[in-house]
Homo-oligomer: A and B are copies of this chain.
């Protein structure tokens, strides 16, 4: 059974440094039989909102039981808690800084405040809890199983929330946020297609800053060089520039607002 353990990693460490490799070394010293999978290490430094988005669209594609070690941790060394969240059959391990806030809406779940140093690398540094707490706890869980959960620390009832993970729904509009910019410079918003249910393209206007962005269903429908909007492969509304980069064309940033204005016929 242990053989099938899957431990994934999501960080803002980049790939120039050996930090990800070091976390894998720590895991393998505890549990040799597991798959070690990288989600991405290119989260913008300390961007919890982006990490939260990337995690939320990735985890459902993994088998139940998968471990998600997430290290976007600007508060490392402060009072922020280290947590294990068991939700929807998955295990999420990392800092309680909003990264896992979207899981508050998925009952029932278990949240554990990781306190038992028996499962840590010691001494625990002030700067690298991925190596010293999150990776070893995932590895111990992978090899020893859920029976150790009560031994990891006290339970919590609620995770720190994160603002703007979901858009704000108003009677006449949806206020969204750019939460990720992909390799192609597409601006991906937090407006999942479910928020647009029942709306046809003629029922709404997509607005970014002061401009209306035409909504299309495939990249090929848009003229080159001009921003367009569509529902992407992760089911979120995004802004793109065909054969170009919306990020560069618009000089856009993660965190900017995007609006859907609803028409009433």
A residues whose Cβ falls under 8 Å from a Cβ of B: 3-4, 6, 8, 10, 13-18, 20-22, 24-26, 28-29, 32-33, 35-42, 45, 54, 57-58, 61-63, 66, 77, 125-128, 131, 180, 182-184, 218, 232-233
Nearest chain B residue, comparing its CB with the CB of A18: B58
Nearest chain B residue, comparing its CB with the CB of A62: B25
Bound CA–CA A127/B240 (angstroms): 14
- Asked whether A183 lies within 8 Å of B128 as measured between CB atoms, the reply is no
Q: What are 25 A-to-B residue pairs whose CB atoms are below 8 Å?
A: A3-B33, A4-B32, A6-B25, A14-B182, A14-B183, A15-B42, A16-B183, A17-B40, A17-B54, A17-B180, A17-B183, A18-B39, A18-B40, A18-B58, A21-B37, A22-B57, A22-B61, A24-B37, A25-B66, A28-B35, A28-B62, A28-B63, A36-B37, A77-B218, A127-B232
Q: What are the residues of chain B within 8 A of A54 when measuring CB–CB?
A: 17-18
Contacts A126-B218, A182-B17; A32 near B61 (Cβ below 8 A): no
**Choice from B36, B63, B182 contacting A16 with Cβ under 8 Å:** B182
Bound CA–CA A131/B60 (angstroms): 12
Nearest chain B residue, comparing its CB with the CB of A16: B42
- Asked whether B15 lies within 8 Å of A41 as measured between CB atoms, the reply is yes
Which residue, of A33, A42, A125, A183, has the highest number of chain B Cβ atoms within 10 A? A183
A225 CB, min distance to chain B CBs, angstroms: 16
Q: What are the residues of chain B within 8 A of A18 when measuring CB–CB?
A: 10, 39-40, 54, 57-58
Q: What are the residues of chain B within 8 A of A183 when measuring CB–CB?
A: 13-14, 16-17, 45
Contacts A18-B39, A183-B16; A58 near B25 (Cβ below 8 A): yes
- 20 additional A-B pairs beyond A4-B33, A6-B25, A21-B38, beta carbons within 8 Å, are A8-B21, A10-B18, A15-B15, A15-B38, A15-B41, A16-B183, A17-B54, A18-B39, A18-B58, A20-B38, A22-B57, A24-B37, A25-B61, A26-B61, A28-B63, A29-B62, A36-B37, A45-B183, A61-B131, A131-B233
